[in-house]
Amino acid sequence: MTAPFMPRRTAAIAFILITALLDVMSMGIVIPVLPQLIEILSGSDAAAGMWNGLFVALWAGMQFVCSPLIGSLSDRFGRRPVILISVAGLALDFVLMALAPNLWWLALGRILAGVTSSSFTSTFAYMADITPPQDRARGYGLIGAAFSAGFVAGPLIGGLLGEISLRAPFWAAAALSGLAFLYGCFVLPESLAPAKRMAFSWRRANPFGALKLLRSHPELSSLAIGNFLLYFAHHIFSAIFVLYAGDRYGWGAWQVGGLLALVGLMDMGVQGLAVGPVVKRLGDRATMVVGLCFGAIGIASMGLASTGWLFVAAMFPNALWGLAMPTLQSLMTRHVSESEQGQLQGANNSVGAIAGIISPLFFGAIYSLSVGPRPPLPFIGSAFLIAAAVLAFAALIGWRAGQQFKPQLDISGPGD
């Protein structure tokens, strides 16, 4: 593996990136219309809010339960069959939701979506299989860029199709997932050799058993905490950004949508283009800490921004936050064997799912305490300042882990 991107490996990486793009795009397509469909099927705004919250919790809950299971299955049977079955299942799920006659049918669709989208654990494990340790941050950055591109293009396509019919985006999402499945059937090679596979065990495949892997090494535990804090802070955008932008700056749907697209484009640029060169110069660990620090600075600046233009300006340092996730993931992969990469990614996804359940509730509560005639928290940007403190703490944990356990990381080669 002296050359990180040989012809066969390049084809495999191309498939992983295209599949990630199509999968995320298919999920993003339904974002603009799913709340409206819920509202129609529920019959009232109040009930729609309750059902939408339930659907978010169902999706995150299934991610928590199924990510370690799918990761362990990929360690046992290989990445290829798990990825292809999951992609095919996602296509069938969108067909199910397109035909949904009631909310219970739609709820079943969200449960299946949570199960099938857990295949991202196998996607990250696949990338770990086909790239040497010193190039994994770049590989994970490319996956992150594909995710960002999907989240930019998906909602835009979904919004346009939603003008035709609320069901049309679901059919388009099913078609994209089906296309990804067919593409994989003909292109995707297996990345995990039979000799490197691990016997399946329910003890490792359940979420609590998988999380034990994160405690198997002191530095891995520290990095897992940093991973949780990163996810926790990131959910401030899904929890309160739309409300905050409207209350403080008077922004409407098109301004918010445009800014989200801009965020996706900047994140795509950072993860797709900047991660590789920065890691080559600074190493994985320093790049991770720099990314977390810029994220903290950017989010704090967003909370302090008195005008919309200052908020937009704060988005640029915040975009460098994208340096943190791929390098953190890369560092974690170095502390487990090749046969445990799927379990590791499953455990990471479970950590993200826990953050996805807790964080929106926390930041939603903080925001509710900071608005109104006489709020208990007198500053409307309090939630952003708390999120910035969380990221700063994550940077401190990452830095101290490197100081304390530096000898274990020297196996990664030059530049780290």
Domains and CATH numbers, the chain: 8-189 (1.20.1250.20), 213-402 (1.20.1250.20)
Measured between alpha carbons, how far is 359 from 34 in angstroms, rounded to an integer? Answer: 22
Buried b (16+ CB within 10 A) or exposed e, 288-321: bbbbbbbbbbbbbbbbebeeeeebeebbebbbbb
Digit-coded pLDDT (tens) for 57-109: 677 778 777 877 887 888 888 888 888 888 888 888 889 888 988 888 888 88
So what's the pLDDT on residue 251? Answer: 82
> For residue 173, which amino acid is it?
A
Give 5's DSSP letter. Answer: S
Measured between alpha carbons, how far is 151 from 249 in angstroms, rounded to an integer? Answer: 24
Copy the structure tokens of residue 382. 């309090």
So what's the pLDDT on residue 305? Answer: 94
CB 348 within 8 A of CB 368: no
CB 122 within 8 A of CB 82: yes
Give 299's DSSP letter. Answer: H
**Strand locations in 122-215, DSSP E?**
none
Q: Name the residue with tokens 């950004």.
A: 241
So what's the pLDDT on residue 415? Answer: 39
Residue (of 205, 214, 199) closest to 69 by Cα position? 205
Give every residue of the chain whose pLDDT is below 50, as ranges. Answer: 1-7, 404-416
What single string gives the DSSP state of each residue in 336-363?
A: S-GGGHHHHHHHHHHHHHHHHHHHHHHH
> Residues with Cβ < 8 Å from 324, sequence gap 6 or more?
230, 287, 288, 291, 292, 295
Round the CA-based radius of gyration of the chain to a whole number and report it: 21
So what's the pLDDT on residue 332? Answer: 84
Measured between alpha carbons, how far is 368 from 362 in angstroms, rounded to an integer? Answer: 10
Copy the structure tokens of residue 195. 């000799």
Residue (of 57, 152, 166) closest to 114 by Cα position? 57
What single string gives the DSSP state of each residue in 66-116?
A: HHHHHHHHHHHH-HHHHHHHHHHHHHHHHHHHHT--SHHHHHHHHHHHHHH
Distance in Å from the first CA to the final CA of the chain = 18
Q: Cβ-count burial of 182 within 10 angstroms (0-12 exposed, 13-18 middle, 19+ buried)? A: middle
> Residues with Cβ < 8 Å from 289, sequence gap 6 or more?
395, 398, 399, 402
CB 19 within 8 A of CB 150: no
Residue (of 360, 156, 155, 373) closest to 247 by Cα position? 373
Copy the structure tokens of residue 119. 């295949």
So what's the pLDDT on residue 254? Answer: 66
